[in-house]
Amino acid sequence: MSEWPVAELGDHVDMQVGFPFKSAKFLDQSKHAVRLLRGDNIGQGLLRWDGAKHWPKAEVEAVTSYHVDQGDVILAMDRPWIEAGLKFAYVRPSDMPCLLVQRVTRMRGTATLETDYLRHVIASPAFTGYIKSITTGVNVPHISGKDIKKFRFPLPPLETQRRIASILGVYDDLIEVNRRRIAVLEEMARGLFEEWFVRFRFPGHEAVPILDTQDGPLPEGWTWDRIGDVAAYVNRGIAPKYDDEAETLVIGQKCIRDQRLSLVLARKQSKNVPIEKVVQPGDVLINSTGTGTLGRVAQAEQVLPGLTVDSHVTIVRPNLPEDRDYLGLSLFAMQPVFEHLGAGSTNQTELARSAVQSQMLVWAPVDLRARFGLMVRPMRELAEQLAQQNSTLAASRDLLLPRLISGQLSVAEAERELEEAA
């Protein structure tokens, strides 16, 4: 163990809470309006800007003190938890400019605490456990700035802080590079899909006439079809028997976010699974119960033996191998439709199997679907490989982090290990 002094966070951090706002001003969505950094925009380690609210450009000057800077550490004070853990992030260049609003706090290191080191302290299991202990409230769980400042942690010298931040930053930088590559690959696949199947600028389109149909114009030989008619299988999953000693996993709604499937929150279950409900590579999965997550879409790429979904998730299975990417990207584009198809009371909203089956989509000729798959499959496979690499990098970093900032592992030893791994 180190002999670093134990410090109280409030003595070494500059903390600011955001400003109150009026929801009516959210109406300004112009390109010159500034994004508002709210609790809803904070993920685990990343800021998410889908559905961001904006502040009118004309009124930005009055709240300039609430601008955030690159590297600032951000923490949600209301509902500080998401499915995967604590809602915190640090500000990247792509997140700027934005304005900090109420019930979100911004933290920066002072002369005795490097901000780059602070972000790893906030990411540590020790801080996460402390936040759990100070969270109060039933309807709206929350934490106070006063309590956040009372967190105690070992404080190494500044040079040691910089070395530790540099070691952990290598993992963060690799993850960030992969994340950007994934985003580019996914955008390329989506762009090609839209060019061919939305704008109808597919190879040879010049020789194919566009015909008027009752559902809209289509190239000759294309059709409008129901999902239920072009998919091999559309159904909900099982009612699982959860068992921590079991060997197979079941996917729930929390596993589907940002059009990606993550098994981090999948649970073990021991119930026998009908063969048709075992998830296959290429299956499209749609959240089908409740509010907030209903309608989210993901597609299974690599799967584990016996993997299944629970009864709150719908499986849509391609009919042909060559339909895998075409069907997947078609249903990704339809996520906003699925999100608004739920029926029932607020807490029991359901996306019925029949509602999924009856939705119409453009169905191109099989040779064009196959050609599209041949072009985008390498992109999507590489994106999946990079996502798996990120999972491995994050796991390695998360194992190293608490040992470094507690002093259990010497900085010199960690630097040697990193050099050997390079």
DSSP string across 67-132: B--TT-EEEESBS-EETTEE-EEE--GGG-SEEEBTTEEEEEE-TTS-HHHHHHHHHSHHHHHHHH
178 vs 266: CA distance, rounded Å: 24
Residue type, 111: A
The sign of the dihedral angle between the CA atoms of 171, 172, 178, 181 is negative
217: nearest Cα among 230, 203, 227, 205: 205
For 5, the enclosing helix (H) or strand (E) is: none
CB 89 within 8 A of CB 47: yes
The reported pLDDT for the residue numbered 83 is 63
Look at the domain 7-155 and name its fold: Adenine-n6-DNA-methyltransferase TaqI; Chain A, domain 2 (3.90.220)
| Neighbouring C-beta atoms of residue 394, cutoff 10 Å | 17
231: nearest Cα among 282, 184, 183, 193: 282
CB 85 within 8 A of CB 254: no
Architecture of domain 156-203+370-422: Orthogonal Bundle (1.10)
The sign of the dihedral angle between the CA atoms of 388, 389, 390, 394 is positive
405 vs 399: CA distance, rounded Å: 11
110 vs 303: CA distance, rounded Å: 46
231 vs 291: CA distance, rounded Å: 26
The reported pLDDT for the residue numbered 346 is 58
The reported pLDDT for the residue numbered 22 is 66
The reported pLDDT for the residue numbered 31 is 61
330 vs 384: CA distance, rounded Å: 19
The reported pLDDT for the residue numbered 301 is 93
User: Do 156-203+370-422 and 223-363 share a fold?
Assistant: no
Burial of 298 (0-12, 13-18, 19+ CB in 10 A): buried
Query: Which positions of the chain have pLDDT values less than 70?
Result: 1-2, 22-32, 83-84, 345-347, 421-422
Q: Where are the domains of the chain?
A: 7-155, 156-203+370-422, 223-363
Class of domain 223-363: alpha beta
For residue range 272-289, list pLDDT tens digits in order: 999 999 999 999 999 999
The reported pLDDT for the residue numbered 186 is 96
Using DSSP's 3-state secondary structure scheme, residue 316 falls into strand
CB 405 within 8 A of CB 121: yes
- Backbone phi, then psi, for 242, in 5-degree steps? -65, 135
Give the angle 243-248-249 at the CA atoms, nearest 5°. 80
Token pair in block for residue 125 = 């299991």
